[in-house]
Amino acid sequence: MVRSFLRKWIKEKVYYKYLNRVGHFRYFNQELFFPKGSLSFVQVFKNGVYEWDNLRFVLGNIPDNSTYFDVGANLGLMSLPILDQTRNVNVIALEASPQMFMYLQKTRERSKYKDKWILINKAVSDSPGLEMNFHLASPGNHAYGSLQDTARIKFTDIIKVTTTTIDEIWRRSNKPKVSFIKTDIEGADLLALRGAAACIKECKPAILIEWNGINIAPFGFVNSDLLDECVTMKYNCYAIPAFNHVKSEIELRQNMLLTESYLLLPQIDQ
């Protein structure tokens, strides 16, 4: 019991401080770089895997020889597992924040998977080529950077970023077979889906979307917008990790009390 306590203490106090100081750690067989005090790193350090409940659904829906869009790639915590745990899957990772892109780029440069890993430093929306404001967070709160002031934290600065769309990138990449789109961009997620209409229609990928009431409000979205988009795309919506089928606004509101992660899957033709 004493040994167990000491091991835990050493890990939490000594090892954590060391990794936080050097700014990189081993993750899915690769070195991953991060800014000091990163909340994402804290989550990985405590849990072992970043957002495991989400990751297992992603891994379970990506076949070999396909393409994965990581929209809001952050530090690459969802990209690296895909590259390491799948076969011949190409990853297209998009990150709007120049702060985080710097660390993401450094991780890719050291990665043995860099030939299958494309990085793009643009904001994803429903229209390409726009100059939009982007609210920067402190390095420790990097995950909260957004095109709108979500008021979840106090932002440190506002910069201009260029927008792109999933459809634009997909077409320029010769329309690969996209099996999965993951989007976590602090309220702008529905804009990303609307800018992926052609890709979604042709490839019918599984989609993991973040839907958070605080984040969507500054964008003018309401819960019915997500369900209406699912109808347009001919997709079903499931709250994860429980995998509850969400069919109405009431069900969506109830599930939002427990989760902000939703898996969208194509409807099976009858």
pTM score: 0.92
Confidence band of 44 (pLDDT split at 50, 70, 90): confident
CATH of the domain at 201: 3.40.50.150
145 or 92, which is more confident: 92
Q: Which two tokens stand for residue 253?
A: 């509101």
**Average pLDDT estimate for 230-257:** 97
Q: Give me the domain span that covers residue 98.
A: 2-266
Q: What is the arithmetic mean of pLDDT over 155-173?
A: 95
pLDDT digit string, tens, across residues 4-15: 544 555 556 666
Domain count along the chain: 1
- Report, as an integer, the average pLDDT of 75-99: 95
State mean pLDDT over 258-269.
Answer: 93
